[in-house]
Each structure stands twice: as structure tokens, then as C-alpha cells.
Amino acid sequence: MPDGGDAVLDVRDLKTVFRTRGGEIHAVNSVSFHLGRGELLGVVGESGSGKSVTMMSLIGLLPSPPAEIRGGRVLLAGRDLLQVSESELRDVRGARIGFIFQDPMTSLNPVFTVGNQIMEPLMRHMGLNRSKARLRAMELLELVGISDAAGRIDNYPHQFSGGMRQRVMIAIALSCDPDVLIADEPTTALDVTIQAQILELVKELRQKLGMAIIWITHDLGVIAGIADRVMVMYGGQVVEQAPVRDLFANPRHPYTRALLKTIPALTGKRAARLQVIEGQPPIMLAAPAACAFRDRCAHAFDRCAAENPQRRAIDGRVVGQGHDVACHWTPEGADA
């Protein structure tokens, strides 16, 4: 992996398990990645692939027990977040790393006005008094496209539409000018028109504010339009990572290829039957000793069941800096 010297966030060999009555679930298995300043990293994979658990592990959002961080380093501007106290970690949340959750319907507290919910981190992390925090909250509402902020700041969440609530969530996440914004499938609960508006808003805010963003999604179509780089996860591991153009033009992992084939093709002709990935993601009851995708992979061979593949660069660059893949199979000479 790169040394992370120019990265605002550098994650190395992160491992997270959940202790359950049925045994330990190895949800995150030696995940490593970095995030450059101003970069948008797309994280894709099916439900259960470890995307959200990985990102929640970074800032201590998982309940412990049952969750336990078993190893790794999470360097934010050189500071290891896995070694700081809970009090210090609370100061990082919101102030240095903002988090937008998946469902705007349940992420906002229904008994507090949206203004109070935006003002809270401003007063806690920025030291603003109530009147200054209120003015800043109105500015943030305007920034995320909510008109008449002065008239809406004292409204409650139920008085906003789903799209407007997600804009409020974005305002809260941006309130303290964080270095990193993590967005966990923030458009999943919204209709397609509102999804497009939120994506356009994120593009505008990123250009205006210059922050680094991690965008978690299962939708490769979204990633194609907003990401600089893509990280594909499966079985709690990174199976492929590449600049977005390289990933779409030259996918190397069979799982990535299968995901791309599930995207509907708009050719103007009669629609072809959508392809699916047969089978289900694995429940990782042990640390991976073999390829987690082998039972669903058309290219699997003996080595896949005997050895867990490690990430290797395919473009001559250092792993993590260009295009790399964790797979024993190579597509040269094979049918795409």
C-alpha cells in the first residue's frame, strides 16, 4: 500500500468482527485504502459485502459488543483513530469526519427542529454561541438548496419531504467543514428524480468546498457519474480498486465483471433480460483462507479453494495507487 503521505485518510489492514451466539462473523478482513484530499472514492458491492461496516469501524460507530476491531490502523492526517479515547473520537465525528446515513426518514430526531440539530455540532465542535450557530445553520440550509431558510429552520423533520430531509442531513454533515465526508447510500430511500438532485448537489458542494468524499453504494451507475476512484468489496475484502474509467473499461475481477453486467443497457433496441449473480454473499464465520467468491465464480479453479488471493497491481504501479485486483484468475486469452 502507499505510505499515505499525501492522503487525508489512510486505512491499513483493518479487521472487524461481530461476536454472536453462532460464532464470530468476520465482517471486515484486512481492508486497506487511502483517500486523497478532494478525492471522491466510490465503494461498491452487494449488501453484506462489508462496505458500511468498514466505514463505521473507522470512527467507532459500531456497538461494542458485539463489534470488535481486531487490528489495523486508521490514520486521519497521520493520527491513528483506533488508538484515541472515546472522548477524542467524539470530537473527530462531525468536526473532522462527517457521516450521512442511508435513511433520512429515521436519521433525524423527530422531536427537535432541524435548526437545533444543525446547531448542535456547531456549538459543540466550533464553539459558536446559540445566535451565531443559528445564523450558520441558515447559511447551511441555503447551501444545500433549501430556500427560505429563515422560515424553515424551526420546522420539524416531518414537515420536510424525503429529499429535503436528506439535504438537512447533508447540512449537518457539512456543518463543521470536515476533512472527510462519508455518504452511506444516501439516495437509496429517495425516488430517482430526487436522487439526481442530491447527486448534483454533492458534485456542486465538492467543487465548492474541496472536501474528500467516500460514497458507499451498490449502484455502479451512480459511481460512474461522480467518482474518481472505485473500490469493489466482497466478503469483507477489497477485491478490486481502480480509477473509475479503468474499472469500467477493463474490469479484472470476475465479481466486478458480474456487477457491471447487471446494469441495464439502454441501446434503443428491445431490452435484454437483466443478468443476475447467482447465489448469495457468504457469511464469514472465519477469516478468509480461500477466495470468498469462488462458489459463485465461473472461472474458479483449484487454487481459489486453497489460497485467499492477495491484491496485486496490474498496471505496474504500487498496490493502492493504480489498478489492482485480488484474484488468481487472469482474463488474458479468456472470454469477457
Residue 189 · residue 105 · CB < 8 Å:
yes
pLDDT for 262: 84
Nearest to 100 by CA among 189, 224, 34, 8: 189
**pLDDT value at position 268?**
59
The C-alpha atoms of residue 292 and residue 326 are separated, in whole angstroms, by 11
- Tell me the whole-structure pTM to 2 decimals: 0.90
Q: Which residues of the chain have pLDDT under 70?
A: 1-5, 104, 265-272, 333-336
Start-to-end CA span in the chain (Å): 29
State the helix-helix crossing angle for 192-209 and 162-174, rounded to 10 degrees: 20
Q: Distance of alpha carbon 244 from its chain centroid, rounded?
A: 15
Cα–Cα nearest to 79, from 136, 1, 4, 133? 4
Determine the Cα–Cα distance for residues 232 and 116; give it in Å rounded to an integer.
37
Which pLDDT does position 333 carry in this prediction?
46
DSSP tag of 209? H
Q: Distance between CA 222 and CA 218 in Å, rounded?
A: 9
The predicted pLDDT at position 83 comes to: 94
Report the distance separating Cα 30 and Cα 281, nearest Å.
18
* Cα–chain center distance at 194: 20
Edge-to-edge strand order for the sheet containing 79-80? 23-36, 7-20, 67-76, 79-80
